Amino acid sequence: MDAVQLAAVLVSAALVASMVSVQIGISVALIELTLGVVLGNVFTLNPNAEWLVLLATFASVVLTFLAGAEVDPDDFRSRLGASLAIGLASFAGPFIVVALLAAGVLGWGTQASLIAATSLSETSLAVVYAVLVETGLSSTRVGKLIMSACFVTGMCTVVALSTIFAQPTVWLPLFLVASVVAIVALPRIAPWFFARFGDRVIEPEIKLVFVVLLILMVLGDAAHSQAVLPAFVLGLVMSRHYRRHQEEQRRLRVVAFAFLTPFFFLRGGMNVSLDAVAANLGVLALLLAAKLVPKLGLVYPLARREAGVNARFATLLMSTGLTLGTISALYGLNNHIIDRTQFSLLVAVIVLSAIVPTAIAQRWFSPPQLAPHPHHLLPPEDSDALLGEA
């Protein structure tokens, strides 16, 4: 299947996912992941096509930037302790349990066990953000807490991957400097740039953000690092600007959700090999339990103190995985630390953790004051009024 045919199939799948999502009230990200699994196993589709990898990777960075832009910096600082506690517990629990399980019970070896632990300890900021936006919760206190905690867990995952496995290149200092410059400069440039060139159908302000994120991706790739974390911080420092210019944020969100994110979620599902999973269902169940049980058990008591009646919803969303988990598993496969079967099992667990906890959270534990339709987004002031201090 050539590039145009593959693109046509995936865009068609994205349309179907949108229709199904609206019809049944479940996040479109979950439908896209499920359709990706089906397409990747029923048809001969290549999830590693160069253009698809680029679009999916860029989509994850844009989603992370948008997630940061939803967080209120003042709220983030005021609840930093809670975010750190939840985020660290969300990472440390599954990391330790999966590492011990893989090394002791499954006999995977030290390096492979650490890859498994790193892959399954993540909480996917991209998945969480997509769900929160679709349900109108991204600008509420509970939504902001979840995203802040996700950021902490993601930071731990990247640090673990970089410390244990990655071999930084001479580009790393430049990547770090460029990240700091972007974080400091963009909030200062944006008001002038958007006033001078923005509010046009050609969307220069969106292009400016895309250029900055792509530069971070280029330098991050050269440094053997990841652009998702500086992208989140960049979004965080831009949040005040977007609060004053909500139409700009809305247009950027529309571009991301209409075009970029379907490729990210569909490709995530396409990486799952059902044949490898079917032959190792017992191992799959053990790994899934090793990821979910520690997250649920450790995060819930902490979330209960901060999120009150929405603690179950927050805990389930903190149990998701996708972006950095897949990156970690792919790193292990490309560097011959894990084999194709181990990779398929890890990715299957990651995709299941993106689908199952989120579906349960939406179906049974969504805050009762939710917007009447999950795709009708509430303005920030209205959503906080509905949810109070939850």
**DSSP codes joined into one string, 69-101:** HHS-HHHHHHTHHHHHHHHHHHHHHHHHHHHHI
CATH number of the domain encompassing residue 274: 1.20.1530.20
pTM: 0.77
Look at 126 and 282; give whichever has higher pLDDT.
282
Mean pLDDT of 76-87: 89
**Domain tally, the chain:** 1
- Which residue pairs from 144-147 have beta carbons closer than 8 angstroms and sit at least 24 positions apart in sequence? 144/70, 144/71, 144/72, 144/75, 144/76, 145/79, 145/82, 145/83, 145/86, 145/306, 145/307, 145/314, 146/314, 146/317, 146/318, 147/67, 147/68, 147/70, 147/71
Confidence of residue 134 (pLDDT cuts 50, 70, 90): confident
pLDDT at 376 over 70: no
Confidence of residue 368 (pLDDT cuts 50, 70, 90): low
Residue range(s) defining the domain that contains residue 182? 3-387
pLDDT at 302 over 90: yes
Percent residues over pLDDT 70 in the chain: 94
C-alpha distances in Å from residue 75, one per residue of 121, 189, 235: 25, 24, 15
pLDDT at 94 over 70: yes
Q: DSSP letter at 339? A: -
